Structure 1
Amino acid sequence: MRRFRWWWGALVLACVAVLVGFFVFFGTESRNGQPHPRPGPPGRGPLTVVAMGDSTVSGEGAGDYSADTDGRNGDWCHRSANAFVQKVRIPGIAARVNLACSGAPAAQVALGDTKQWGERSQAAQLADLVKDHRVSVVVIAVGANDDPKFSAQVSQCFKAWFSADGPSCNVALQSTWKSKVDAMVPKVANAVGDVKKVLARAGYVPADYQLVLQSYATPVGPGIPPELQSLDGCPFRSDDLQWISTAGISALSAGVKQAAAQSGARFLDLSRAGEHHEACSGGANPTAEWFTRLTLHLDDLSQADRAPHALQESFHPNAAGHAAIADCLSDFLTRGDGNATCLAGPDGKLHAVGEPAG
């Protein structure tokens, strides 16, 4: 009897050893032979959505900036509590982190030594973040501050309005804009690639998170009342407004889409997101506008360190604009695959309209 028990116990141990070996070599699989899905992003901490990029992400123009990014120690990143990342609705998300910085070029989003307003690489900041956060979504918007220098071009158009005898700003831009955008594309693709590299080093695989590269919305458009084509609102010539809102923004968006394809990110097109809600489009009633008009903080002019930033908020999405973008982004992230364009629906809100298959 004792010999039988010994034999039976040895058999059980042998079977356990075989099962352990099976799981070591083949991993945990379901009964139909398919791998069990990963439980989500690796690591520890709250499930998190992260925003990276420049002013259109940080919340420039939306007000309510964190004290440490509103000029303290020379930091003008202007991260707003009203930025879209704080308003996006994603099931299961417990934390929202904004690493974006106003004026940031692609090189400051990427790994490296490039700083913006004294802040180090956003990708390096992400590497620190994943130590105690489980990143489920990364949304990036960057590139306009590289070769296109979109803000500088808007300033040139502003100067053209003052010089009635000179050419419109779009005359020169028509011959150089495409080449500027083309030069931007690899820089944006490299920045997105570095974000993926950071997550891969932390043990992430592509299925663990959504990676989104979004383009830019048009801050101004045609049809502005003549009385607001002035220092009281939007001082631009009519033909420049037409070019910015059509050829200019379309080419920029196409370049960002190309960078998304090269880097393996999903693309969200915001080029038409502001239609009928551009700065000055509301005439005497600006409440329906999603972008700031020409904005001058007079109090800042009396302070040497703040005076150079007194106009910084001009022609950026305001708090209402960020809320509208958050509606579209929420739609897009819920969809979970493919590219899309932010368009207004019958309810007046922005929705993510997917691209046709093929």
Structure 2
Amino acid sequence: MRPLRTRLLAAFLILPALTLLLLVSDRRFVPPSPPEDKPRALVALGDSTISGEGAGDYERGTDGENGNWCHRSANALIHRTAVPGVERTINLACSGANADHVALTDAQHYNEGSQTRRLAEVARDNRITAVVVGVGANDDPRFSDIVMRCLWAWFLKDGPDCNRDAGKEWSDRVDRMVPKVTKALTDVRSVMRRAGYPDNSYTLVLQSYAAPVGTSVSPSLQNLNGCPFRSSDLRWVEDNAVGRLAAGLHRAADLVGARFLDMSRAARGHEACAGGTDTSREWFARLALDFNALRDNQRAEHFSQESFHPNARGHNQFGRCLGEFLTTKHEDAACLLGPDGSLHPVPNQAVRASG
């Protein structure tokens, strides 16, 4: 009888402890959830294509103050989305950023740390409904450098077209970019999960880049008055460079289950210098040189920073298309010009890598 009494006593003592342990365990492992009592918000991460470079009206502290040249604009596309029910649009992007500056790394850019770490803070104080990322061009493609290389080819009249060499290495550059952008998007997913957001509780969008210049350029402006590029290089940017870059970004989006918005054809007919004497038709800044900046050592190296970036009109159109896309269920779409003269997302038209 003693063994039975011993077992009963042990059970009597252990059961309450097990019950308490289960209760504590249940509380400890209840998965967190998004803060539904907070303002609904859209958040932008990435580089100049989404920060607002070229759109003017930059946020205080991002126009060279203390070495910060992120150029986050009040006119940036994230602020032009007009998605029903969204109360806040928050811009964490920074001009010149690459995938490392978005991802969970210790990399610093213009005195700012990881954008994804800042996203974690925003996720606690807001109910994030979508995270929109525009990044990759400043990684291996170094698209801005390619554009400047093409500009210098115009100056060097006797040299080869810039696309002769850039075109040969472009696909390899884009391929090397893909895993870096994939990691940045994976880190966004990871941070959002830790903040209590399951993947299906918000939308993650990766967008590509519109061509800043193209064959619609007015011949009278194919010089230092606006767009000093050779015709063959303009054709390469329009027909090859931005499309191949978009295909690589589409691959990165697919790898992490993000939605994809193709901007590669969004500005056709509205690139820099396409309007001739009517600049109101253009969605990109022309060659812009701030000669007053040359008098200031700290600003001198940024005297042409706004050149060939979307202007406020461009951001308004891109933001409108993004906002419409966010209200759909399409996994991918391309922003294309509609009969009304504005951009709209067209499903099943986004470029993909061949094969």
TM-score interval w.r.t. the shorter chain? 0.7 to 0.9
Find out whether 1:116 has 2:109 as its counterpart. yes
Whole-angstrom CA distance in 2 between matches of 1:167 and 1:73: 40
Match of 2:90 in 1: 97
Query: What's the counterpart of residue 264 of structure 1?
Result: 257
Shift of 1:227: 2.0
Supply the distance in 1 between the matched residues of 2:34 and 2:84 (Cα, whole angstroms). 14
| Aligned partner of 1:339 among 332, 338, 343 | 332
Match status 1:125 vs 2:115: no
Report the Cα offset of residue 42 of structure 1. 3.1
Aligned partner of 1:75 among 49, 56, 68? 68
Which residue does 2:280 correspond to in 1?
287
State the match for 2:162 in structure 1: 169
1:214-293 paired onto structure 2 within 5 Å? 214-293=207-286
- Post-superposition offset of 1:327: 1.2
Query: 2-side partners of 1:330 and 1:356: how far apart?
Result: 17
Deviations 1:107-147 (A, max 9, x none): 00000101111100000000111121111110001000000
Describe the shift of the 1:96–1:223 C-alpha distance in structure 2 as closer, same or farther (beyond 3 A): closer
- Please tell me whether residue 185 in structure 1 is matched to residue 172 in structure 2: no
1:248-290 Cα offsets, whole Å, 9 max, x none, are 1111010010010011100000001001100000011111100
Unaligned runs of at least 5 residues, structure 2: 1-25, 27-32, 351-355
Q: Aligned residue for 1:3?
A: none
- Whether contact under 8 Å (2:217, 2:271) holds in the other structure is no
Secondary structure of the structure 2 residue equivalent to 1:341: strand
CA contact (8 A) 1:43 1:130 kept: no
SS at match of 2:298: coil
User: How far off is 1:225 after superposition?
Assistant: 2.3
- In the alignment, the residues of structure 1 paired with residue 331 and residue 217 of structure 2 have an alpha-carbon distance, to the nearest angstrom, of 35
TM-score (norm. length: structure 1): 0.87
Query: What's the offset of the Cα at 1:307?
Result: 1.1
SS at match of 1:290: coil
Partner of 1:87: 80
Residue of structure 2 in register with 1:302 after alignment: 295
Q: How far, CA to CA, are the matches of 1:212 and 1:54 in structure 2?
A: 14
Q: Which amino acid aligns with 1:301?
A: L
Contact 1:41/1:209 (8 A) holds in 2: no
TM-score, reference length from structure 2: 0.88
Q: Are 1:47 and 2:16 counterparts? A: no
- 2:55 maps to 1:62: yes
Q: CA deviation at 1:325?
A: 0.4
Secondary structure, counterpart of 1:222 in structure 2: coil
Instruction: Give me the whole-angstrom Cα distance separating, in 2, the residues matched to 1:41 and 1:324.
Output: 30
Mapped to 2, the partners of 1:157 and 1:44 lie a distance apart of 51
User: 1:43 Cα deviation (Å)?
Assistant: 5.6
Letter in 2 for 1:147: D
2:193 to 192, 197, 200: 200
Q: Which amino acid aligns with 1:224?
A: V
Moved more, 330-339 or 155-164: 330-339
User: Shift of residue 331 of structure 1?
Assistant: 1.1
CA distance 1:356–1:159, change in 2 (3 Å)? closer
2:216–2:271 Cα contact (<8 Å) kept: no
What is the rounded CA distance, in whole Å, between the counterparts of 2:142 and 2:182 in structure 1? Answer: 17
RMSD across aligned C-alpha pairs, in angstroms?
A: 1.7
Contact kept, 8 Å, 1:44 with 1:132, in 2: the verdict is no
